[in-house]
Amino acid sequence: MFKKIFGSKNDRYLKKLTPIIARINALEPEMEALADIDFPAKVAAWKGQVAAGEKTLDDLLPECFALVREAGRRAFDPPMRHFDVQLIGGIVLHQGKIAEMKTGEGKTLVATLAVVLNALSGKGVHVVTVNDYLARRDAEWMGQLYNFLGLTVGVIVHGLNDQERQEAYRADITYGTNNEFGFDYLRDNMKFYKEQLVQRPLNFAIVDEVDSILIDEARTPLIISGPGEKSSGLYRRVDAIVPKLVKSSPTDPEDKDAVPDGDFVLDEKTKSITLTDAGVEKVEGLLGLDNLFDPQNIALQHHVLQAVKAHHCFQRDVEYIVKDDQVVLVDEFTGRLMPGRRLSDGLHQAIEAKENVKVEAENQTLASITFQNYFRMYEKLAGMTGTADTEAVEFQQIYGLEVIVIPTNMPMVREDNPDSIYKTQEEKYKAIAEDIEDCHRRGQPVLVGTVSIEKSELISNLLKKLKVPHNVLNAKQHEREAEIVLEAGHKGKVTIATNMAGRGTDIKLGEGVCELGGLHIIGTERHESRRIDNQLRGRAGRQGDPGSSRFYLALDDDLMRLFGSDRLKGIMEKLGLEDGMAIENKMVSNAIEKSQTRVEGHHYEIRKQLLEYDDVMNQQREAIYGLRRELMETKEVESIAREYADDLLEDILEAALDVKGGADKETVESVRARLEEVFNFERFPEWAKSGLPDMDQAHKWVDDIFAYLRASTGEHYQEILRYFLLDSLDRNWKEHLLNMDHLRDGIGLRGYGQKDPKQEYKREGFELFSELVYTIKENALRAFSHLRIQAEVKDDEFKHEDTDDLQYTDSGSAQDKKPVTVRKDAKIPRNAPCPCGSGKKYKKCCGA
């Protein structure tokens, strides 16, 4: 009612853009009159004006959009002139918002407007796609327009080397996947020389399928890892006992005293496992342990839970497939394979053990970031998708991104039928098969959406029995995908697909299909999120095409079973649903939508929690990466190193010197030991005297240490200091990541007292971080002060090994060839990292 009187916020926003659109349209004759060669000239001139600060991007928007529109007419064959609604989309993107535009509205072309305008800044524009195929396709396709305007385009895809990446990032416009952009960021923060960095500062990104990337994928962070130490034997040993553990049957949630009857309880909603008392005893017996909860068995306990999870929450061909002796994850939302992505925390290894394939070495995290945090670093961020409206609150709260719903170019005429609801799945599938057969007989193309590969196959089998020819689009047929989608709108075609998000190509209708009612969409159950359902529906009715959709549901569908409210059941009973009969009822559909909203809310809370925890890590990462950049780029390495040295020295000495009447013998001894350890003062003859040096004397010795280094390393002095500082930072940061992981795992168990686990995590995380900063300084200093330099240092010997293939492996031996020897008699704690930088413990390396 309110909305009707005042118009929605969205309407008011769109209305405000009307005069701008009018201006762009008014400029059209002027642009039509230009010669082809005028286009790059104009762009170059604007670039100059922006660089000189004479014009802002906003000033140039109308003219620039008008130019791009005319360029679209000339550069493409057949010509593409941006529609007015596409201009609106372009403005929305330029303003750093999310443009919701339905499938087939031409988002790929919409992006060009904001891309070109923002490329005028010369600071780079990133267009983020969901896969390499789309990155290449869009860069090439839209590249015709960019090149016509004299702008350069780069593409970042898997398998490029650093030099190729640098080139692609230097271009005015860079296309690539979220994974590639994110990994490049992480890899850059592991480099040793600024010349090796591939990315420029993050300026503006337009994220295509923004809901897929920022919401669906937000739960899995990007991780760069190197091999850790655990053996595969452990996984196999634990795996062997899982089949002997019995799953408890579900108990009535109302009955608080119900005792589970099995060895473990699986909570289907949260996918969490808990062992029952009987289960614990059984596990102890099977593994030959006295007490599973003994601190020394913490790791084992963890592995048992993961193994049970691997067996009971992960189904082959649903959550993953086994291909070439490897466990490859399947994206739950798109059904695509995700080669290279691994579940963390030993879960992937547990599945490998279950499938009896090679158990990969457990990896240690070297760097990680969530997509949220990566994309939040851009100066400006925008997105586009066909379905963002249902998640508008999350986009606003987490990313500060506003969603604008943009009207379609042609009126939408798709007929969305009410849900058909059946008592059982069996009856439902029968009805679905009949609907498909009917369409097929009449020649109307059908797209059938399922939630899993398994369900796709079930329908495929039904159709085989009915002799209805069809295509199945799922992870296993990845390669033929584009081809199948291209044909899906042709007469008589039947296409079955797991989730359609990010499939790229839109479905165009074949000849004579309009008369038959266009594309018909069948949903075989409701997804947990309404957005995914909308994506499926959105495949029909593009650009004013006819089309229709219907969802088929059953009372025993997972969603209905797990989240359907009792109210829903009540309604159904009142309506008197009989066997084999369907009902179509608005009230029921609404109730289902309510339960979907509840599930969405539940998932949102999980993501928000995750983010709140991740925020702690994120602040630390920003601080460390910031420090790293500074160390990498500064010309004043020496003064930074000196500052660290002075801080440490004062820290250590002051404790003893400040004591009234002099420190006792014990304190003096321990301070001496610390000074020896960190500063190697024993290299100075005066040190032999007992007692402590005064502050001036100590500072002078530190001067001498630096003077010695400077004299013996000559022109390499700064680089050597830089090397040791960065090396110490990386080594300790890696360690810190592991500590933070443990802290986080453990914090959940601390729900005791009045303590808020998140606050505890923050507080202890901060303490760990302060220690980290101290340790970084100390380790670097220890390395400097124990250095004995050999005669000649060759240039390239100090280059850090290329971090190119760090993505899934570690370059652990990178430091082996350093031209540095360590005096054997130096007093370095035996378990400290060896100052030669090998990464081994001192006792196992130079101290051996």
Per CB under 6 A, residues contacting ligand ADP are 80-83, 86, 101, 103-109, 506
Q: Rounded to the nearest whole angstrom, what is the least distance from the CB of residue 169 to ligand ADP in the complex?
A: 24
Question: What b/e sequence results for 497-526 when a residue is b if at least 16 CB atoms lie within 10 Å of its CB, and e otherwise?
Answer: bbbbbbbbebbbbbeebeebbbbbbbbbbb
Q: Is 557 annotated as a binding residue?
A: no
Q: Which residues contact 754 (CB under 8 A, 6 or more apart)?
A: none
108 is in an annotated binding site: yes
Establish whether 48 is an annotated binding residue.
Answer: no
To ligand ADP, the closest distance from the beta carbon of 103 in angstroms equals 4
Where do we find the tokens 């004006």? 49
DSSP annotation string for 526-584: --SSHHHHHHHHTTSSGGG--EEEEEEEETTSHHHHHH--HHHHHHHHHHTPPTT--B-
Task: List strand residue ranges (DSSP E) for 297-375, in order.
Answer: 320-323, 326-330, 337-338, 363-369
By beta-carbon distance, which residue lies closest to ligand ADP? 106
In 3D space, the residue among 717, 712, 727 whose CA is nearest the CA of residue 783 turns out to be: 727
DSSP codes, 274-289: EE-HHHHHHHHHHHT-
Q: How far is the CB of 525 from ligand ADP (least distance, A)?
A: 24
Least separation in angstroms between CB 206 and ligand ADP? 12
For ligand ADP, give the closer residue by CB, 145 or 592: 145
Based on CB atoms, which residue is closest to ligand ADP, 82 or 722?
A: 82
Residue 105 is assigned to a ligand binding site:
yes
| Choice between 39 and 320, CB closer to ligand ADP | 39
799 is known to lie in a ligand binding site = no
Give the nearer residue to ligand ADP in terms of CB position, either 130 or 698. Answer: 130
Contacts of 196 (CB under 8 A, 6+ apart): 162, 188, 803
Q: Which is nearer to ligand ADP, 208 or 528 (CB)?
A: 208
Tokens of 709: 């280094």
CB 743, CB 761: distance < 8 Å: yes
What's the min distance (Å) between Cβ of 75 and ligand ADP? 12
Residue 83: CB minimum distance to ligand ADP, A? 5
Rounded least distance, CB 101 to ligand ADP, Å: 6
* Residue among 55 and 73 whose Cβ is closer to ligand ADP: 73
Among residues 655, 665, 791, 798, the alpha carbon closest in space to that of 724 is found at: 798
828-836 CB contacts, 8 Å cutoff, 24+ apart: 828/677, 828/782, 828/786, 829/677, 832/677, 832/782, 833/731, 833/779, 835/782, 835/783, 835/786, 835/787
User: In what side-by-side order are the strands of the sheet with 320-323?
Assistant: 320-323, 326-330, 337-338
Type of residue at 123: K
Rounded to the nearest whole angstrom, what is the least distance from the CB of residue 82 to ligand ADP in the complex? 5
Rounded CA-CA distance 128/114 in Å is: 14
* Pair of tokens at residue 593: 């939508």
Question: Is 506 assigned to a binding site?
Answer: yes
**Other Cβ atoms closer than 10 A to 54:** 10
Q: Which is nearer to ligand ADP, 506 or 528 (CB)?
A: 506
Instruction: Choose between 89 and 765: whose C-beta lies nearer to ligand ADP.
Output: 89
Cα–Cα nearest to 64, from 49, 85, 79, 53: 49
**Residue number with CB closer to ligand ADP (31 or 343):** 31
Q: How far is the CB of 80 from ligand ADP (least distance, A)?
A: 4
Q: Is 477 labelled a binding residue?
A: no
Give the annotated binding-site residues for ATP.
Answer: 86, 104-108, 506
Give the annotated binding-site residues.
Answer: 86, 104-108, 506
